[in-house]
Amino acid sequence: MRIFRFFPLLAVSLLPAPLLTNTASAAPTAVAEPLAKTAAISRIDPTFWWVGMKNPKLQLLVHGPGIGSSTVTLNYAGVTLDGVQKLESPNYLLVNLTVSPAAKPGKLALQFQGAKKVKYEYELRARNTDPARVQGVTSADFVYLLMPDRFANGDPKNDIIKSTNVSRIARDSMYARHGGDLKGIEQHFDYLKELGVTAIWPTPVVENNQPKASYHGYALTDYYTVDPRYGTNAEYIGFVKNAHAKGLKVIHDVVLNHMGSQNYLFKDQPAKDWFHQWPGYTRSNFRDAAFNDPYAATQDRKLFGEGWFDKHMPDLNQTNPLVATYLIQNFLWWVENTGLDGYRIDTYSYSDRSFLMQWGAAILEEYPKIGMFGETWVQGTAQQAYFAQNIFPEVQGFKSNLPGVTDFQMYYAINETLTKDAGWTEGISKLYYTLQADWMYQDPMRNVLFLDNHDLSRFYSVIGEDFQKYKMGLAWLLTSRGIPQLYYGTEVLMKNFTDPDGKVREDFPGGWPGDKKNLFVAAGRNPQEQEAFRYVSTLATYRKSHPVLHSGKLMQFIPDGGVYTYFRYNDQGEAVMVMMNSNKDEKTVDTARFAERMAGFSSGQEVTSGAPIADLKTLKIPGRTAWVVELKR
């Protein structure tokens, strides 16, 4: 994320010693009437919890004026009060509980005794065991990345929320809210299905009540609430459920490293050590290499990990175990509450490395099927692999447990392929050498491939609006190893470069009533836009129905004369050949050198055009062309 732009919950023994401990009897007690929140308690995080979680420990962060001086009692079968802990601010109190497997769902009555007596009903819910929830994300998926504010406006009633810091819509300003929402995405599920998409990745949907540039979602102001301009928490739960019913998975975009300055936790800080404090505003140096550079200066390493991402994004101190537990519980909460299928972790490399290991372990322990990949905008495959599950020994106390990453190295390689002439290591050879370095990962199939995203110049503009190169890039995206991700609008040739105007985040044409163009329907597209959509849809649909192309083995051959050839194949005798000619002119390719993979095949069919290939021995491939050939015996 650029602004243009847990671990297992810590056991009480690992927390700072409680200042007050008041363990109550486990005998149940009847509650005569609902116990509502009072003015003395503004909120408790997590907002509710579940019985039967694998880790029985639960840390409640209670917020309210003067609540820190209270003692706490409870009386609920199966729930033990392990202790309470004061924080630096008198407006916070930590309540540490153990929720045993014997506990039943219900309302847990917490009684706070301070200047006055306050009762609070804390809800313990039953877990949802629907097998359709938390499906995970794999190389069989095709991920569609979109910005909810810029995709489609399905509910004009939530465009303006007067209680927010930005209570207006201004579609003529790229930094203002435009009105897109969850309902707008949901209304276009069929469009995504037609395109061949299997998973939706919206940029963060949580509340972002910042006074400036709040539309992108990466400066969250409430960890437990969907932004009201997108919808409600209940609507998001319904969004995930309805997506699943349509055969679409949902990836939740999360930020571990920082929050928004309007978050109540920053405006009324529980303690100074919840954030990285500096004498004055100090920005990160954005140099991830300092984390594992054996020769790094201490100050460089500190600036990278503890400097703020931006002025309105306070940097969290994840070495504080209370902060770490707060974050881990929150991201367990979202999975359990919604049934989402995967997490994309923003600015992954900026977080404290011990925390990252603890966070990943906690999420995977509770939800072993969940898909997870982190943003690793770094240089070099070794550096990228360092942040994923890899074959390296532990380096400076860090051994990543993150299943996959956003594969920037492959992004650099495909861009070089389509913008530079072929050389020994340059141009299309860059793809070969980058893929060759996959030996560093435990499983590179879990890495996410992409041509562009919300922080980068749009792919069609980068390649000079060359339609042949466009098709080459899409062919690579949907046939190479890993999980392909498409940025919204790439399928209909949306363009523009990153610049101060933010035009790479323009609205999807047709997402708003009265739009002059509607690219959601074939009738609204010009012939080239329709051909682009058809090309993506054809290849994505073929990929979905032919597992050999998304889950088969991969064999690549060293590029020769600007032509790069690789195969996806399996033990059942199926094979798909991909041949990419990066030259301007036609090339004649003698396929004898590919005999290892082509033996036994006599003909083929180019997938995107349907054209038959009767003779595989010598192929004449046009310039700036990628063929995806299903081999036939």
- Could you tell me if 229 and 209 are in contact, meaning their C-beta atoms sit under 8 angstroms apart? no
CA 277 to chain centre: 28
Q: Which candidate in 149, 181, 375, 529 is catalytic?
A: 375
Coil, strand or helix at 581: strand
Is 159 a catalytic site residue?
A: no
- Could you tell me if 447 and 457 are in contact, meaning their C-beta atoms sit under 8 angstroms apart? no
Q: Is the dihedral of CA 571, 572, 573, 577 positive or negative?
A: negative
Q: Which candidate in 181, 207, 253, 346 is catalytic?
A: 346
Calculate Rg over the CA atoms of the chain.
26
Measure Cα distances from 203 to 145, 150, 217 in Å.
7, 10, 7
CA-based nearest residue to 3, from 500, 620, 580: 500
Look up tokens 């199966």; give the residue. 78
- Could you tell me if 487 and 454 are in contact, meaning their C-beta atoms sit under 8 angstroms apart? yes
Q: Tell me how far apart the alpha carbons of residues 99 and 51 are, in angstroms, rounded to a whole number.
A: 7
Is the peptide bond prior to 46 cis by the omega test (within 30 degrees of 0)?
A: yes
Is 346 a catalytic site residue?
A: yes
Tokens matching residue 131: 């097998």
Q: Tell me how far apart the alpha carbons of residues 423 and 19 are, in angstroms, rounded to a whole number.
A: 67
Q: Tell me how far apart the alpha carbons of residues 81 and 71 are, in angstroms, rounded to a whole number.
A: 11
Tokens matching residue 302: 């500190």
Q: Tell me how far apart the alpha carbons of residues 393 and 207 are, in angstroms, rounded to a whole number.
A: 39
Are β-strands 618-621 and 117-125 bridged in parallel, bridged antiparallel, or unpaired?
unpaired
The phi, psi pair for 207, rounded to 5°, reads: -55, 135
The phi, psi pair for 605, rounded to 5°, reads: -140, 125
536 half-sphere exposure, CB direction, 13 A CA radius: 30
Catalogue the active-site residues.
Answer: 346, 375
